[in-house]
Structure 1
Amino acid sequence: MSRETDLEALMRASQSGDAEAHRALLQHLSVRLRSYFRNRLRRSGAGADDAEDLVQDTLLVLHTKRHTYDGSSPVLAWTYGIARYKLIDHLRLNARALRNVQIDDMDDLADVDRYEAVDTSRELHRALETLPRHFRLPIEYVKIEGLSIAEAAARIGMTDAAVKIGIHRGMKKLAALLSEARP
Protein backbone atom coordinates (compact mmCIF):
# COMPACT_ATOMS: atom_id res chain seq x y z
CA MET A 1 0.00 0.00 0.00
CA SER A 2 1.52 3.30 -0.97
CA ARG A 3 -1.29 5.36 -2.35
CA GLU A 4 -2.04 8.46 -0.35
CA THR A 5 -5.78 7.76 -0.47
CA ASP A 6 -5.19 4.38 1.22
CA LEU A 7 -3.13 6.07 3.92
CA GLU A 8 -5.80 8.70 4.46
CA ALA A 9 -8.44 5.97 4.79
CA LEU A 10 -6.27 4.17 7.35
CA MET A 11 -5.72 7.42 9.23
CA ARG A 12 -9.45 8.19 9.36
CA ALA A 13 -10.18 4.65 10.57
CA SER A 14 -7.37 4.95 13.11
CA GLN A 15 -8.80 8.21 14.40
CA SER A 16 -12.16 6.48 14.78
CA GLY A 17 -10.63 3.83 17.02
CA ASP A 18 -9.98 1.01 14.56
CA ALA A 19 -6.97 -0.69 16.17
CA GLU A 20 -6.19 -2.85 13.13
CA ALA A 21 -6.17 0.18 10.81
CA HIS A 22 -3.97 2.04 13.28
CA ARG A 23 -1.52 -0.87 13.42
CA ALA A 24 -1.46 -1.12 9.61
CA LEU A 25 -0.91 2.63 9.28
CA LEU A 26 2.00 2.66 11.71
CA GLN A 27 3.53 -0.44 10.14
CA HIS A 28 3.41 1.11 6.67
CA LEU A 29 4.77 4.44 7.87
CA SER A 30 7.57 2.77 9.86
CA VAL A 31 9.02 1.32 6.63
CA ARG A 32 9.12 4.75 5.02
CA LEU A 33 10.44 6.44 8.16
CA ARG A 34 13.23 3.88 8.55
CA SER A 35 14.44 4.64 5.03
CA TYR A 36 14.03 8.38 5.56
CA PHE A 37 16.12 8.44 8.74
CA ARG A 38 18.81 6.04 7.51
CA ASN A 39 19.37 8.11 4.39
CA ARG A 40 19.64 11.36 6.31
CA LEU A 41 21.73 10.04 9.18
CA ARG A 42 24.23 8.31 6.92
CA ARG A 43 25.89 11.67 6.23
CA SER A 44 26.27 12.51 9.90
CA GLY A 45 28.00 9.28 10.83
CA ALA A 46 25.09 8.07 12.97
CA GLY A 47 24.25 4.40 13.02
CA ALA A 48 21.20 2.26 12.41
CA ASP A 49 20.39 2.41 16.14
CA ASP A 50 19.93 6.18 15.90
CA ALA A 51 17.65 5.74 12.89
CA GLU A 52 15.59 3.13 14.71
CA ASP A 53 15.29 5.36 17.78
CA LEU A 54 14.04 8.18 15.57
CA VAL A 55 11.54 5.85 13.88
CA GLN A 56 10.17 4.83 17.27
CA ASP A 57 10.07 8.42 18.54
CA THR A 58 8.20 9.52 15.42
CA LEU A 59 5.76 6.61 15.60
CA LEU A 60 5.06 7.50 19.22
CA VAL A 61 4.23 11.08 18.22
CA LEU A 62 2.04 9.82 15.36
CA HIS A 63 0.24 7.54 17.80
CA THR A 64 -0.34 10.18 20.45
CA LYS A 65 -1.11 13.05 18.07
CA ARG A 66 -3.15 11.30 15.39
CA HIS A 67 -6.23 13.15 16.63
CA THR A 68 -4.59 16.41 15.45
CA TYR A 69 -4.40 15.26 11.82
CA ASP A 70 -7.12 17.20 10.04
CA GLY A 71 -6.76 15.97 6.46
CA SER A 72 -5.69 19.35 5.09
CA SER A 73 -2.36 17.88 3.99
CA PRO A 74 -1.41 14.40 2.78
CA VAL A 75 -0.69 11.86 5.52
CA LEU A 76 2.86 11.40 4.25
CA ALA A 77 3.57 15.13 4.28
CA TRP A 78 2.23 15.35 7.84
CA THR A 79 4.30 12.32 8.86
CA TYR A 80 7.49 13.59 7.24
CA GLY A 81 6.96 16.98 8.86
CA ILE A 82 6.98 15.32 12.26
CA ALA A 83 9.96 13.19 11.24
CA ARG A 84 11.87 16.27 10.08
CA TYR A 85 11.43 17.94 13.46
CA LYS A 86 12.53 14.75 15.24
CA LEU A 87 15.61 14.61 13.00
CA ILE A 88 16.49 18.25 13.62
CA ASP A 89 16.10 17.75 17.38
CA HIS A 90 18.33 14.68 17.18
CA LEU A 91 21.00 16.55 15.22
CA ARG A 92 20.91 19.44 17.67
CA LEU A 93 21.35 17.09 20.61
CA ASN A 94 24.21 15.30 18.92
CA ALA A 95 26.78 17.95 18.12
CA ARG A 96 29.03 15.43 16.38
CA ALA A 97 26.32 14.85 13.81
CA LEU A 98 25.54 18.52 13.35
CA ARG A 99 29.18 19.36 12.69
CA ASN A 100 29.18 16.91 9.78
CA VAL A 101 26.06 18.30 8.10
CA GLN A 102 26.86 21.14 5.74
CA ILE A 103 24.32 23.94 5.62
CA ASP A 104 23.98 23.32 1.88
CA ASP A 105 22.84 19.77 2.69
CA MET A 106 19.89 21.03 4.71
CA ASP A 107 17.87 20.76 1.48
CA ASP A 108 18.27 16.99 1.76
CA LEU A 109 17.14 16.98 5.39
CA ALA A 110 13.87 18.59 4.34
CA ASP A 111 13.25 16.25 1.40
CA VAL A 112 9.94 14.54 2.01
CA ASP A 113 9.77 12.14 -0.86
CA ARG A 114 7.61 13.53 -3.66
CA TYR A 115 5.47 15.34 -1.10
CA GLU A 116 8.09 17.93 -0.28
CA ALA A 117 6.01 20.96 0.54
CA VAL A 118 8.65 23.49 1.50
CA ASP A 119 12.30 23.90 0.69
CA THR A 120 13.26 24.34 4.31
CA SER A 121 16.84 25.36 3.74
CA ARG A 122 16.01 28.20 1.36
CA GLU A 123 13.11 29.30 3.52
CA LEU A 124 15.35 29.32 6.58
CA HIS A 125 18.10 31.25 4.78
CA ARG A 126 15.61 33.84 3.54
CA ALA A 127 14.15 34.27 7.00
CA LEU A 128 17.61 34.50 8.58
CA GLU A 129 18.63 37.21 6.12
CA THR A 130 15.76 39.40 7.30
CA LEU A 131 16.87 39.29 10.94
CA PRO A 132 19.02 42.06 12.38
CA ARG A 133 22.72 41.18 12.73
CA HIS A 134 22.51 40.84 16.54
CA PHE A 135 19.93 38.04 16.11
CA ARG A 136 21.17 36.48 12.88
CA LEU A 137 24.84 35.97 13.73
CA PRO A 138 24.31 34.27 17.12
CA ILE A 139 21.84 31.85 15.51
CA GLU A 140 24.16 31.14 12.57
CA TYR A 141 27.22 30.62 14.73
CA VAL A 142 25.69 28.64 17.60
CA LYS A 143 22.71 26.82 16.09
CA ILE A 144 24.01 26.19 12.58
CA GLU A 145 27.80 26.14 12.83
CA GLY A 146 27.85 24.57 16.30
CA LEU A 147 30.09 27.12 18.03
CA SER A 148 29.82 27.53 21.77
CA ILE A 149 28.20 30.66 23.21
CA ALA A 150 31.67 31.95 24.22
CA GLU A 151 33.15 31.30 20.74
CA ALA A 152 30.25 33.04 19.03
CA ALA A 153 30.45 36.00 21.45
CA ALA A 154 34.16 36.41 20.72
CA ARG A 155 33.64 36.19 16.97
CA ILE A 156 30.76 38.70 16.96
CA GLY A 157 32.13 41.01 19.63
CA MET A 158 29.19 40.56 21.99
CA THR A 159 28.94 39.35 25.57
CA ASP A 160 27.87 35.77 26.28
CA ALA A 161 24.61 37.07 27.74
CA ALA A 162 23.93 39.16 24.63
CA VAL A 163 24.50 36.11 22.41
CA LYS A 164 22.06 34.05 24.50
CA ILE A 165 19.47 36.82 24.34
CA GLY A 166 20.07 37.22 20.60
CA ILE A 167 19.51 33.52 20.04
CA HIS A 168 16.38 33.43 22.17
CA ARG A 169 14.78 36.50 20.61
CA GLY A 170 16.02 35.64 17.13
CA MET A 171 14.56 32.14 17.29
CA LYS A 172 11.21 33.60 18.34
CA LYS A 173 11.33 36.00 15.38
CA LEU A 174 12.38 33.16 13.06
CA ALA A 175 9.52 30.99 14.24
CA ALA A 176 7.08 33.83 13.62
CA LEU A 177 8.51 34.52 10.16
CA LEU A 178 8.44 30.86 9.16
CA SER A 179 4.91 30.32 10.43
CA GLU A 180 3.73 33.38 8.47
CA ALA A 181 5.36 31.98 5.32
CA ARG A 182 3.39 28.73 5.51
CA PRO A 183 -0.16 28.64 4.16
Structure 2
Amino acid sequence: MAAELEDRLKALMLRGQAGDAAAWRELLTLLGGRLRAYFARRMDRSAASDVEDLVQETLLAVHRRRMTYDPTQPFTAWAHAVARYKLIDHWRRNRIRQHVPIDDVAEWLTEPETESPSARGDLDRVLSSLPEKQQRLVRDVKIEGLSLAEAGARIGLSEGAAKVSLHRALKALISRNSGVED
Protein backbone atom coordinates (compact mmCIF):
# COMPACT_ATOMS: atom_id res chain seq x y z
CA MET A 1 0.00 0.00 0.00
CA ALA A 2 2.70 2.51 1.00
CA ALA A 3 4.79 1.65 -2.06
CA GLU A 4 1.76 2.10 -4.30
CA LEU A 5 1.04 5.50 -2.76
CA GLU A 6 4.69 6.52 -3.14
CA ASP A 7 4.61 5.50 -6.80
CA ARG A 8 1.39 7.41 -7.41
CA LEU A 9 2.58 10.58 -5.65
CA LYS A 10 5.94 10.44 -7.39
CA ALA A 11 4.30 9.99 -10.81
CA LEU A 12 1.99 12.94 -10.13
CA MET A 13 4.96 15.06 -9.02
CA LEU A 14 6.92 14.23 -12.16
CA ARG A 15 3.92 14.98 -14.38
CA GLY A 16 3.33 18.21 -12.45
CA GLN A 17 6.96 19.23 -12.89
CA ALA A 18 6.50 18.66 -16.61
CA GLY A 19 3.55 21.08 -16.65
CA ASP A 20 0.52 18.77 -16.26
CA ALA A 21 -1.84 21.03 -14.29
CA ALA A 22 -4.37 18.27 -13.58
CA ALA A 23 -1.66 16.01 -12.13
CA TRP A 24 -0.37 18.91 -10.05
CA ARG A 25 -3.85 19.60 -8.60
CA GLU A 26 -4.32 15.93 -7.82
CA LEU A 27 -0.91 15.76 -6.12
CA LEU A 28 -1.63 18.81 -3.97
CA THR A 29 -5.05 17.44 -3.02
CA LEU A 30 -3.65 14.05 -1.99
CA LEU A 31 -0.72 15.63 -0.22
CA GLY A 32 -3.00 18.10 1.58
CA GLY A 33 -4.93 15.26 3.21
CA ARG A 34 -1.74 13.55 4.37
CA LEU A 35 -0.36 16.85 5.68
CA ARG A 36 -3.54 17.57 7.68
CA ALA A 37 -3.21 14.22 9.43
CA TYR A 38 0.54 14.72 9.97
CA PHE A 39 0.15 18.17 11.53
CA ALA A 40 -3.00 17.33 13.51
CA ARG A 41 -1.12 14.53 15.32
CA ARG A 42 1.58 16.97 16.34
CA MET A 43 -0.53 19.98 17.34
CA ASP A 44 -2.73 20.77 20.30
CA ARG A 45 -6.42 20.13 19.59
CA SER A 46 -7.13 23.84 20.02
CA ALA A 47 -4.77 24.65 17.15
CA ALA A 48 -7.03 23.57 14.26
CA SER A 49 -6.44 26.85 12.43
CA ASP A 50 -2.68 26.38 12.86
CA VAL A 51 -2.97 22.95 11.27
CA GLU A 52 -4.68 24.40 8.21
CA ASP A 53 -2.14 27.24 8.05
CA LEU A 54 0.71 24.71 8.16
CA VAL A 55 -0.91 22.64 5.42
CA GLN A 56 -1.21 25.71 3.20
CA GLU A 57 2.35 26.88 3.97
CA THR A 58 3.70 23.43 3.17
CA LEU A 59 1.74 23.08 -0.06
CA LEU A 60 2.97 26.51 -1.11
CA ALA A 61 6.56 25.51 -0.28
CA VAL A 62 6.15 22.28 -2.27
CA HIS A 63 4.84 24.35 -5.18
CA ARG A 64 7.66 26.88 -4.99
CA ARG A 65 10.37 24.24 -4.53
CA ARG A 66 9.00 21.63 -6.94
CA MET A 67 11.95 21.95 -9.29
CA THR A 68 14.36 21.01 -6.48
CA TYR A 69 12.80 17.56 -6.16
CA ASP A 70 15.22 14.87 -7.32
CA PRO A 71 13.23 12.17 -9.16
CA THR A 72 15.79 9.53 -8.19
CA GLN A 73 14.69 9.93 -4.55
CA PRO A 74 11.40 8.98 -2.86
CA PHE A 75 8.83 11.77 -3.11
CA THR A 76 7.34 11.19 0.33
CA ALA A 77 10.73 11.65 2.02
CA TRP A 78 11.17 14.98 0.22
CA ALA A 79 7.63 16.11 1.08
CA HIS A 80 8.10 15.03 4.70
CA ALA A 81 11.25 17.13 4.96
CA VAL A 82 9.37 20.19 3.70
CA ALA A 83 6.53 19.55 6.18
CA ARG A 84 8.91 18.95 9.06
CA TYR A 85 10.73 22.23 8.45
CA LYS A 86 7.43 24.12 8.28
CA LEU A 87 6.38 22.56 11.60
CA ILE A 88 9.71 23.40 13.23
CA ASP A 89 9.44 26.99 11.93
CA HIS A 90 5.93 27.22 13.41
CA TRP A 91 7.13 25.96 16.79
CA ARG A 92 10.04 28.40 16.77
CA ARG A 93 7.84 31.37 15.82
CA ASN A 94 5.46 30.51 18.64
CA ARG A 95 8.18 29.47 21.11
CA ILE A 96 6.71 25.99 21.43
CA ARG A 97 8.94 23.16 22.63
CA GLN A 98 7.91 19.77 21.25
CA HIS A 99 9.59 16.40 21.25
CA VAL A 100 8.36 14.14 18.50
CA PRO A 101 9.45 10.51 18.63
CA ILE A 102 10.94 9.30 15.38
CA ASP A 103 8.31 6.53 15.29
CA ASP A 104 5.67 9.21 14.65
CA VAL A 105 6.95 9.81 11.14
CA ALA A 106 7.06 6.16 10.09
CA GLU A 107 3.85 6.43 8.08
CA TRP A 108 5.59 8.88 5.74
CA LEU A 109 8.32 6.52 4.83
CA THR A 110 7.79 3.87 2.22
CA GLU A 111 10.94 2.03 3.12
CA PRO A 112 13.49 2.30 5.90
CA GLU A 113 15.54 5.43 5.50
CA THR A 114 19.17 4.66 5.06
CA GLU A 115 21.87 7.17 4.72
CA SER A 116 24.10 6.59 1.77
CA PRO A 117 27.69 6.01 2.90
CA SER A 118 28.85 8.15 0.00
CA ALA A 119 26.53 10.99 1.05
CA ARG A 120 27.92 10.87 4.61
CA GLY A 121 31.44 10.84 3.21
CA ASP A 122 30.68 13.79 0.92
CA LEU A 123 29.20 15.76 3.81
CA ASP A 124 32.15 14.98 6.06
CA ARG A 125 34.59 15.93 3.29
CA VAL A 126 32.88 19.25 2.57
CA LEU A 127 32.54 20.19 6.23
CA SER A 128 36.13 19.17 7.04
CA SER A 129 37.34 22.35 5.33
CA LEU A 130 35.74 24.39 8.12
CA PRO A 131 36.99 25.03 11.65
CA GLU A 132 35.51 22.55 14.16
CA LYS A 133 33.06 25.02 15.75
CA GLN A 134 31.68 26.01 12.35
CA GLN A 135 31.33 22.35 11.37
CA ARG A 136 29.31 21.77 14.53
CA LEU A 137 27.11 24.83 13.88
CA VAL A 138 26.33 23.72 10.32
CA ARG A 139 25.45 20.22 11.51
CA ASP A 140 23.37 21.40 14.48
CA VAL A 141 21.42 24.15 12.72
CA LYS A 142 21.16 23.00 9.11
CA ILE A 143 21.04 19.23 9.57
CA GLU A 144 19.69 18.65 13.09
CA GLY A 145 17.31 21.64 13.06
CA LEU A 146 18.46 23.29 16.29
CA SER A 147 17.96 27.00 16.80
CA LEU A 148 20.98 29.29 16.66
CA ALA A 149 20.71 29.83 20.42
CA GLU A 150 20.70 26.07 21.10
CA ALA A 151 23.54 25.34 18.69
CA GLY A 152 25.58 28.27 19.99
CA ALA A 153 25.11 27.16 23.59
CA ARG A 154 26.48 23.72 22.69
CA ILE A 155 29.79 25.23 21.62
CA GLY A 156 29.91 28.17 24.01
CA LEU A 157 28.77 30.99 21.71
CA SER A 158 26.01 33.55 22.11
CA GLU A 159 23.14 33.42 19.63
CA GLY A 160 24.52 36.46 17.80
CA ALA A 161 28.02 35.01 17.58
CA ALA A 162 26.59 31.69 16.38
CA LYS A 163 24.62 33.51 13.68
CA VAL A 164 27.72 35.31 12.42
CA SER A 165 29.82 32.15 12.54
CA LEU A 166 27.19 30.10 10.72
CA HIS A 167 26.86 32.79 8.05
CA ARG A 168 30.62 32.79 7.53
CA ALA A 169 30.71 28.99 7.40
CA LEU A 170 27.98 28.82 4.77
CA LYS A 171 29.60 31.58 2.75
CA ALA A 172 32.92 29.70 2.86
CA LEU A 173 31.24 26.45 1.78
CA ILE A 174 29.45 28.16 -1.08
CA SER A 175 32.58 29.89 -2.34
CA ARG A 176 34.69 26.70 -2.08
CA ASN A 177 32.11 24.58 -3.84
CA SER A 178 31.37 27.05 -6.60
CA GLY A 179 35.01 27.54 -7.44
CA VAL A 180 34.96 31.15 -6.19
CA GLU A 181 37.46 32.12 -3.51
CA ASP A 182 37.27 35.23 -1.30
How high is the TM-score relative to the length of structure 2?
0.59
**How many pairs does the alignment contain?**
148
Q: Which amino acid is 2:83 matched to?
A: A
Select the residue among 3, 6, 9 that pairs with 2:8.
6
* Structure 1 match to 2:119: none
Contact residue 76 and residue 109 of structure 2 kept, 8 A: no
TM-aligned CA deviation for residue 72 of structure 1: 2.2
Aligned equivalents of 1:114, 1:101: Cα separation in 2: 21
Contact 2:77/2:109, CA 8 A, preserved across alignment: no
Distance apart, 1:163 and its partner CA: 7.1
In the alignment, structure 1 residue 114 sits paired with structure 2 residue 109: yes
Equivalent residue for 2:41, pick from 39, 42, 57:
39
Residue 13 of structure 1: CA displacement?
1.0
The secondary structure found in structure 1 opposite 2:71 is coil
Q: Distance in 1 between matches of 2:52 and 2:29?
A: 13
Residue pair 1:4, 1:74 contacting (<8 A) in 2 also: yes
* Deviation at residue 114 of structure 1 after TM alignment: 3.0
Percent sequence identity over matched residues? 41
CA shift at 1:50, angstroms? Answer: 0.7
1:72 aligns to what SS in structure 2? Answer: coil
What does residue 176 of structure 1 align with?
none
Residues 1:64 and 2:64 are matched in the alignment:
yes
- Show structure 2 runs of 5+ residues with no match: 116-131, 141-145, 171-182
Q: How does 1:69-88 map to 2 (within 5 A)?
A: 69-88=69-88
Question: 1:4·1:76 contact (CA, 8 Å) conserved in 2?
Answer: yes
CA-atom RMSD, angstroms?
Answer: 4.0
Q: Secondary structure at the match of 1:3?
A: helix
What is the 5 A alignment of 1:1-183? 3-42=5-44, 47-95=47-95, 97=96, 100-102=97-99, 105=100, 107=102, 111=106, 113-115=108-110, 117=113
1: CA distance between counterparts of 2:65 and 2:160?
A: 37
- TM-score scaled by structure 1? 0.59
Q: Which amino acid aligns with 2:78?
A: W
